[in-house]
Amino acid sequence: MHPTRALSAILTFLLLFSCHPVFSADETAVDAAIDRGLAWIMAHPATCQDGGFLDIVDEGLFYLTIRRLGSGKMPDALHERAFEDCISRLEASPEFERRLKKQDKTLFEQYHLLLATYLIETVRKPAVSHDRVIAEARRTLANSSSENQTFRLTVALLIQHLGATPPVSMAELLDASLVNRVTQRDVSKLPGQPPHRSTFQRPLAYYALVHEVAALTDFGRLPPSPWLIERRSRIGRILQDGALRAMVSAHVDLLAEMLLCNHMLDLAMTGELLAGVDFLVASQHADGSWGEQVTSPRTNRVRHAVQTATAALLAYKTTSRAH
């Protein structure tokens, strides 16, 4: 986001917060922001030349998310066709083929190949790469005990969502997960600084938490499991903290991820998260984007924030109806 725009959004948020500590998003404004975001995404599809393989995967995940926010239905047939077109671009991507052929893949690389295969199979089954991708991911996961625990859990869950059995005990993976580690104690009953606070000094920890919840709920298809329900109120407090930090730093993508995670946990949207809805509406650009994100590691620094923010606003609409 441009610095001037970011400052304006932050000042708007602070003014709103000082006058109205309880937020109530303007439904008409939310609807208009969603329409602008969807129009931008449709007009800027990810390609091999613009964003590459990872952006095409992100786009596919966006369409899957909005389909599931609509209880299995897209906003309209136009978006369903856009999802199918995205999957065609994914299958035809030379980078996808190159990644498939690469030897000694990392767990991170296996995650994206599994996710790409999973997305393909939501549109047409089976993916040509299905058995190969799963077999290679299982081998990598079986030898990954010292790897990032979020990647281990999400890879195992994707293998499971694709109909195979992970080579590692799910109980072991859950026990080592970030969700479990930051919710082992009820932070609301502890004096002083919550024990989870040091974990979330960098945005990447919040993203890891969201990715675990997304995988555990099959990207919003499944309701929270009893294991997740036991921990969700504590996760909810972390999301509130993350939303506030994201607004103060005008980190649109992170804020949107907090909103989406809250929805996947089937929690009411309140406090800083509800304020975040107003923040997203107020900080959207006239063209439907949220501007260039200085924190984005992607070559296209605009696209991912539009996808996550638009999906988050759609999640707000779904959550507000449910609660």
Reported for 28-34, long-range contacts at CB under 8 A and 24+ positions apart, including other chains, are 29/281, 30/277, 30/281, 30/313, 30/316, 30/317, 31/317, 33/280, 33/281, 33/284, 33/310, 33/313, 34/310, 34/313, 34/314, 34/317
pLDDT for 125: 82
State pTM to two decimals. Answer: 0.88
Res. 242: pLDDT tops 90: yes
For residue 141, give the amino acid letter. L
**What is the pLDDT averaged over residues 108-127?**
94
Question: Rounded to an integer, what distance in angstroms lies between the CA atom of residue 202 and that of residue 131?
Answer: 36
Backbone angles phi, psi at 47, to 5 degrees: -135, 175
Full set of structural domains in the chain with CATH: 3-168+199-322 (1.50.10)
Res. 236: pLDDT tops 90: yes
For residue 311, give the amino acid letter. A
**What is the pLDDT averaged over residues 16-22?**
43
What CA–CA distances, in Å, run from 142 to 30, 59, 92, 100?
45, 30, 30, 19
pLDDT in tens, 177-229: 999 999 985 444 433 444 455 567 777 899 999 999 999 999 999 999 999 99
Q: How crowded is residue 73: how many other Cβ atoms within 10 Å of its Cβ?
A: 13
Res. 13: pLDDT tops 70: no
Lookup: tokens for 30 = 């939310």
- DSSP alpha helix (H) spans, 44-148: 52-69, 77-92, 94-101, 107-123, 130-142
**What is the pLDDT averaged over residues 292-318?**
90
Lookup: tokens for 197 = 């606070």
Question: Running DSSP on this structure, what letter comes out for residue 296?
Answer: -
> Using alpha carbons only, what angle is made at residue 227 by residues 224 and 229, rounded to the nearest 5 degrees?
50
pLDDT for 14: 52
Give me the chain's average pLDDT, please.
88
pLDDT for 126: 86
**What is the share, in percent, of the chain residues with pLDDT greater than 90?**
76
What CA–CA distances, in Å, run from 275 to 245, 268, 278, 313?
12, 13, 5, 12
Res. 237: pLDDT tops 50: yes
Higher pLDDT, 247 or 187: 247
Selection from 83, 95, 101 nearest residue 38 by Cα:
83
Cα dihedral 267, 268, 270, 272 in deg (nearest 10): 30
pLDDT for 103: 93
pLDDT in tens, 22-45: 445 688 999 999 999 999 999 999
Tell me which of 41-50, 105-114, 176-185, 235-244 is least confident: 176-185
**What is the pLDDT averaged over residues 63-70?**
93
Res. 138: pLDDT tops 70: yes
First to last CA, the chain: 32
Q: Rg of the Cα trace of the chain? A: 19
pLDDT for 294: 76
Reported as a pLDDT band with limits 50, 70 and 90, residue 286 is very high
